[in-house]
Amino acid sequence: MISNSLEIEYGVKSNYLPHILYENSVGNIHSVFQTSFNLVFHDQLVHVGSLGTPVSAFGVNIPGNSLQQLLNRISAGNSVRYEDGKIMIDTSNHEVKIKLDKLSEVDLRLSHLPIDRVDVKNNEIFRLINQIDFLGDSGVIQSAKESSLLNEFISAQSDHKKVIKAIIEHFFGRGIGLTPSGDDFISGLIMVESCFSDDSSCREELSEFLSRHSSTTDVSRSYYQCLLNGYVSESFKHLLNNLSGTVEIAKARRLVKNVTNYGHTSGIDTLFGIQVALKKLMQK
């Protein structure tokens, strides 16, 4: 075995990973950050973060000390392999092995939940979401035209699919950062549709649009692929699961805070999409 090897067999993983790691394959390190990094296999990212933080939809969380050792050794572009339930990362004189087959699995698949307009209006999470200054804190709305488009989406009936097409085309890839604000907003719309609606117009439109356009970040595309398969990151799943009934104020605050802490504005932008989609559902 290569000297100074590191084997990791404790942590948690998203149950979406078999969609990515379904055969022995070769990939590389896509990007390295201060407290996490991304791998890429089959044009799909795998995020490696720290235990104690919410698991990404396409994520693996490992102990913080092991993660720090890894971050000290790796660089973007390093070769990685997936073989027989294990991720192997080669550096100049180290081998790092993440034993995925030993990690606990977290269920991040969205559930389809019943929802009632009265329940939503009285729900503590929805009340907290409505207190957010999305025009000031979110990067989604930059013009009166965009505000008008969202109002049209909320109230649309007969031309429902035409407005959804306009929303996807306008906000897809719009903004800056690892996940542009427009993508986070669209994700919020689709989360609500996936959980609480029998309609699938947003998902169908996004899926069709993704097949023809690549004008967004690799991170956004990975989140979109997870979402279209029915998976979200842990903090969003917990919030969505508690929107359909009664929730204590302290818990509601914690769930909303966990989402708003997500990225620079990603959590806020996604909550804006969730708010808009819920408002549309309550029009029915």
Encode the chain (284 residues) as per-residue pLDDT tens digits: 444 678 999 999 999 999 999 999 999 999 999 999 999 998 999 999 999 999 999 999 999 999 998 998 888 999 999 999 999 998 767 788 999 999 999 999 999 888 777 678 889 999 999 999 998 888 898 888 899 999 999 987 756 889 999 999 999 999 888 899 999 999 999 999 999 988 899 999 999 999 887 789 999 999 999 999 999 999 999 999 999 888 999 999 999 999 998 877 899 999 999 999 999 988 76
Predicted confidence at residue 94, as pLDDT, reads 75
CA distance 167 to 152: 10
Contacts of 109 (CB under 8 A, 6+ apart): 15, 16, 230, 231
The pTM assigned to this predicted structure is 0.93
Predicted confidence at residue 2, as pLDDT, reads 43
Q: What is the CA radius of gyration of the chain?
A: 20
**DSSP conformation letters of 156-199:** -STTHHHHHHHHHHHHTT-SSSSS-HHHHHHHHHHHHHHHH-S-
